[in-house]
Structure 1
Amino acid sequence: MRKILVLGGYGGFGARLSRRLAGDGFEVLVTGRNLEAAKALASRLPNAIGLQADRNGDIAAILDNHKPFLLIDAAGPFQHSDDRVVRACIKAGIHYIDLADARDFVGSIGSLDEQAKAASVTVISGASSVPALSTAVVAELSKDMQAVRSIEISISASNRATAGASVASAILSYVGKPVRLWRGRRWQNATGWHMLKRENYVVAGHRPLRRLVALADVPDHDLLVEGIAGRPSVVFRAGPEFTFQTLALWLLSWLVAWGWLASLGNISRSLLPLQGLTARFGTARSAVTIEAKGIAQGIMRARRWTLIAENGDGAEIPTLPAQLLARALRDGRLLPGARHAGGLLSLEDFRTLFRDLAISEETTETSYKPLYLRIMGPAFAHLAKSVRAMHEVFGDGGAKGEAIVTRGHSPVTRLVARVFGFPAAGKHALHVSFKERDGIEQWTRDFSGQRFRSHLSDENGHLVERFGPFRFSFDLPMRDNGFCMEIRRWSFLRLPLPLFLAPQSVAHEWAEDGRFQFDVPIALPFIGLVVHYRGWLEPID
């Protein structure tokens, strides 16, 4: 009988994993700092014993005394952890798996590859919901896509799910701190637990869930960007069941973002009793959704996989990859070496375990036509190739180039330019990030670090561009190998305003020597020029 040592084996996820491994016929060493808790759980499992050990202590001694064939670290948190446990396993010739979701820890595990191979040991990090399950789902969704443009993942746990101090510490470690994201075809920083989104989790035949989720920092933000064709943008969000919990943590995040606190990590144990007060409320329902947008057979396709877990079974999901990989190690199906868990398992592997849980899943697909194609119809095909390419926005994209900016000099025009965030006069390096969601495009223009953004949509066959509370409706008549943008109406807070008071602007986009060109003058009636920017852009591959 193969012996597995589970660090943190009586914790929220560790206890579930220990039970699963015992059910698979392994001898389980339930291990942690609390000997009584370890023995209590072990007494309820077949072929299990409870042991005391600290992952930050002398792990080598317990490995030498009990000689397991595999150690699974379910203790955490891994956000500020070193690799002493991994190195101890390699030195002792013992296989290693962990449930880490710490971005740096999982991403750096490959640095131990040579040592692991020399010791004929298999080392796997991230055997949890991310990156093991998430990568398996993305691989399934994108298997026939020539290029993936964007990936969005969100997870919402039941309020009744047990979460220990290590889970809370892991979350609080990045709240309010910079999170590095690949967006607009370049690396940019966002803020942890910001980018709030109301997510809908829908599986046919089941009552849908609607939860508020926020940006989390996970290994997928690196691993999927590098590992999926097309280098897609990746955004991972997570959230508890209740909206007020997400919003409360969002409010606390500003204390870190503004520099008033270095981190919220030190208050994790203080927050656990508060979570305990609400644990009996809510439901036993958790959910996951993963959406991949990309090009398959020349068609823009959005594929969305959704899982809803009932009866508290959502808390089982983070343990399933470790169980599957432990079986694979037992059967000799994993080679020596150190690597992350992304790509080691397929969605079908997970389905063998889903069948015994109250879990339902569904995959849906929709095709997509770009915004400007929907508005311009057949005329879109007559645009120059570089002009079309700039407006085939789907999921995420980016372009770079140069711009020359001229500004008006009157106090009124300077004030208007300041309110809208228009760039200063001069020559600028220009980057534009494109983001499409539900058919609406967001363009973020970065002129040498000065940014302003607008949202574009289709209303009654017209292009509508929104700058905050102002909305402008345009016709798009063809000119040469491009088109113009002519204002037809405008509004403030959707209240129509007189057209003769509208900003005077006829923007022009065209191609010259195969390169996309733009010319955008904006002036106020009776007052004069506000801003005039012109230049060129090229899509970033």
Structure 2
Amino acid sequence: MTEQVLILGGSGRIGSSVAADLVAHTQAQVILTGRHEAAGMSVTQELGSKVKFLGLDLADDSVLRDAIASCNLVIHCAGPFHYRDDRVLKLCIKEGVNYLDVSDHPSYTRKALDCREEAAAAGVTAIVNTGIFPGISNSMVRQCVEQLDETDRIHLSYLVSGSGGSGVTVMRTTFLGLQKPFEVWIDGQWQEIKPYSDREVIEFPPPYGRTGVYWFDMPEAFTLPETFPVKTVITKFGTVPDFYNYLTWSVAHWWPSSWLRNRYVIEFLARVSHRMTDVSDRFTGVGVAIRSEVSGRKDGQPAKFCSTLVHENTAVAAGYGTGSLAELVLTGKLKKPGVWAVEQALPTDLFEHTMQSRGLNIHQEWLPQKN
């Protein structure tokens, strides 16, 4: 029988990129869902006969339950995940259907991970945070950690050009991430950090070079120290062109917190930003860069290992991250009942194989130690 994959929010930029990857690398029948039929039909026509559209509102429990029950795998791409609960995941567990998502906010990740025992008992493999960052980035960290004998510090830096080829939902996610301080794991203890603070200039691969990044609230900030015995985890994010960073910094530091907790303000900022990137994308492109640097010890000596990735389209790369996991789950190569972050579920050999099959090159190197 042909495998059936349900992509919630499948007509958006990220969801359609996941669907495109499934069409390219699996034989599955893909069902995209969304509230806007015109957008959904446009995507299905572009992707071909293996993709169908189903009009669906996530608030409609009965239709959602029937759609989940008819599939072998559900991929949740309907963000922003700041507003989502664990209802879709729990329906998948109840129906015995495997689950992936592209969630990118700690509040949702914690809700999902709390369902681990329930999913394990049902034999359901559920993996969260499966896009580009978090997602591919988490597996890059695992690559680095496995090169060392002991790990002390993880430093993840992300850079996106303009819109990253994504829709307005990603813009909402950025501004939602500025709403309040968050906790990070520094020197073996949790410390509170203000979002978009502590600018740091990082050397990314060409064409980006030295670019500023800032603290940003990401789920890997707590899943990585839960996964690996590490004293410090740093997650920082920046955009190109650099003036977007200064605009975002000013919103995070100068605007009243009550404004940032207002949905209408967030929507205004997201819409204005998306219009701005519609212009700047023509000059900057929509690419992404990730740099993972892990420090520790190798053969008794201090050591640093670094992996970097660059792709010309952030949304497409996110599709690779989720699509590759879907391929592994559908073929039975990845089966781990429970709910897991990517770095907890995906072995490095499978990660490297699926990235190579998609032509995604990850550069790895030992960094010199400073005297």
TM superposition score normalised by structure 1: 0.62
Structure 1 residues 186 and 337: alpha-carbon distance in aligned structure 2, compared to 1, 3 A threshold:
closer
Partner secondary structure for residue 368 of structure 1: coil
Per the TM alignment, residue 160 of structure 1 is displaced from its structure 2 partner at its CA by 5.7
1:290 aligns with 2:289: no
Structure 1 residues 285 and 114: alpha-carbon distance in aligned structure 2, compared to 1, 3 A threshold:
closer
Larger strand fraction of residues: 1
Give the conservation status (yes or no) of the 8 Å contact 1:107–1:223.
no
The 5-angstrom pairing of residues 385-400 of structure 1 reads none
The 5-angstrom pairing of residues 236-315 of structure 1 reads 236-256=235-255, 259=257, 261-263=259-261, 265-267=266-268, 268-310=270-312, 312=313, 314-315=314-315
Equivalents in 2 of 1:249, 1:179: separation in Å?
17
In structure 1, the partner of 2:211 is 211
1:232 aligns with 2:231: yes
Partner secondary structure for residue 213 of structure 1: strand
In structure 1, the partner of 2:22 is 21
Equivalents in 2 of 1:361, 1:338: separation in Å?
27
RMSD: 2.3
Residue among 174, 189, 192 paired with 1:171: 174
Structure of greater Rg: 1
Structure 1 residues 173 and 273: alpha-carbon distance in aligned structure 2, compared to 1, 3 A threshold:
same
In structure 1, the partner of 2:140 is 137
Give the conservation status (yes or no) of the 8 Å contact 1:303–1:364.
yes
Equivalents in 2 of 1:102, 1:39: separation in Å?
29
Q: Which amino acid aligns with 1:246?
A: N
1:102 aligns with 2:105: yes
Equivalents in 1 of 2:38, 2:357: separation in Å?
30
Structure 1 residues 201 and 93: alpha-carbon distance in aligned structure 2, compared to 1, 3 A threshold:
same
In structure 2, the partner of 1:92 is 95
Residue among 117, 120, 141 paired with 1:117: 120
Structure 1 residues 160 and 168: alpha-carbon distance in aligned structure 2, compared to 1, 3 A threshold:
closer
Equivalents in 2 of 1:308, 1:245: separation in Å?
20
Q: Which amino acid aligns with 2:366?
A: E
Structure 1 residues 102 and 261: alpha-carbon distance in aligned structure 2, compared to 1, 3 A threshold:
same
TM superposition score normalised by structure 2: 0.89
Per the TM alignment, residue 362 of structure 1 is displaced from its structure 2 partner at its CA by 1.9
Q: Which amino acid aligns with 2:166?
A: A
Partner secondary structure for residue 54 of structure 1: coil
Partner secondary structure for residue 10 of structure 1: coil
Q: Which amino acid aligns with 1:68?
A: C
In structure 1, the partner of 2:77 is 74
1:34 aligns with 2:36: yes
Give the conservation status (yes or no) of the 8 Å contact 2:106–2:217.
yes
Equivalents in 1 of 2:105, 2:156: separation in Å?
16
Structure 1 residues 25 and 167: alpha-carbon distance in aligned structure 2, compared to 1, 3 A threshold:
same
Give the conservation status (yes or no) of the 8 Å contact 2:164–2:287.
no
Partner secondary structure for residue 344 of structure 2: coil
Give the conservation status (yes or no) of the 8 Å contact 1:98–1:125.
yes
Equivalents in 1 of 2:60, 2:126: separation in Å?
19
Q: Which amino acid aligns with 1:145?
A: L
1:352 aligns with 2:353: yes
Which stretch shows the higher mean deviation, 263-272 or 9-18?
A: 263-272
1:51 aligns with 2:54: yes
Q: Which has the higher contact order (CA 8 A, sep 6+)?
A: 2
Equivalents in 2 of 1:174, 1:325: separation in Å?
26
Give the conservation status (yes or no) of the 8 Å contact 1:40–1:50.
no
1:389-447 alpha-carbon deviations (Å, 9 max, x no partner): xxxxxxxxxxxxxxxxxxxxxxxxxxxxxxxxxxxxxxxxxxxxxxxxxxxxxxxxxxx
Equivalents in 1 of 2:79, 2:147: separation in Å?
37
Structure 1 residues 90 and 142: alpha-carbon distance in aligned structure 2, compared to 1, 3 A threshold:
closer
Per the TM alignment, residue 86 of structure 1 is displaced from its structure 2 partner at its CA by 1.2
> Post-superposition, which runs of at least 4 consecutive aligned residues in structure 1 deviate over 6 A?
none
Per the TM alignment, residue 232 of structure 1 is displaced from its structure 2 partner at its CA by 2.6
The 5-angstrom pairing of residues 333-412 of structure 1 reads 333-355=334-356, 359-368=360-369
1:103-149 alpha-carbon deviations (Å, 9 max, x no partner): 12113323212322343322221112244322322222122433322
Structure 1 residues 222 and 82: alpha-carbon distance in aligned structure 2, compared to 1, 3 A threshold:
same
In structure 1, the partner of 2:10 is 9
Which stretch shows the higher mean deviation, 338-347 or 147-156?
A: 338-347
Per the TM alignment, residue 234 of structure 1 is displaced from its structure 2 partner at its CA by 0.9
Q: Which amino acid aligns with 1:179?
A: F
In structure 2, the partner of 1:504 is none
Which stretch shows the higher mean deviation, 14-23 or 151-160?
A: 151-160
Per the TM alignment, residue 29 of structure 1 is displaced from its structure 2 partner at its CA by 0.5
Equivalents in 1 of 2:224, 2:116: separation in Å?
20
Give the conservation status (yes or no) of the 8 Å contact 1:156–1:287.
yes
Per the TM alignment, residue 255 of structure 1 is displaced from its structure 2 partner at its CA by 3.1
Equivalents in 2 of 1:265, 1:319: separation in Å?
26
Structure 1 residues 353 and 233: alpha-carbon distance in aligned structure 2, compared to 1, 3 A threshold:
same
Structure 1 residues 78 and 315: alpha-carbon distance in aligned structure 2, compared to 1, 3 A threshold:
same
Q: Which amino acid aligns with 1:239?
A: G
Per the TM alignment, residue 284 of structure 1 is displaced from its structure 2 partner at its CA by 4.7
| Aligned length, in residue pairs | 362
Give the conservation status (yes or no) of the 8 Å contact 1:160–1:282.
no
Equivalents in 2 of 1:259, 1:16: separation in Å?
34
Equivalents in 1 of 2:144, 2:122: separation in Å?
36
1:461-493 alpha-carbon deviations (Å, 9 max, x no partner): xxxxxxxxxxxxxxxxxxxxxxxxxxxxxxxxx
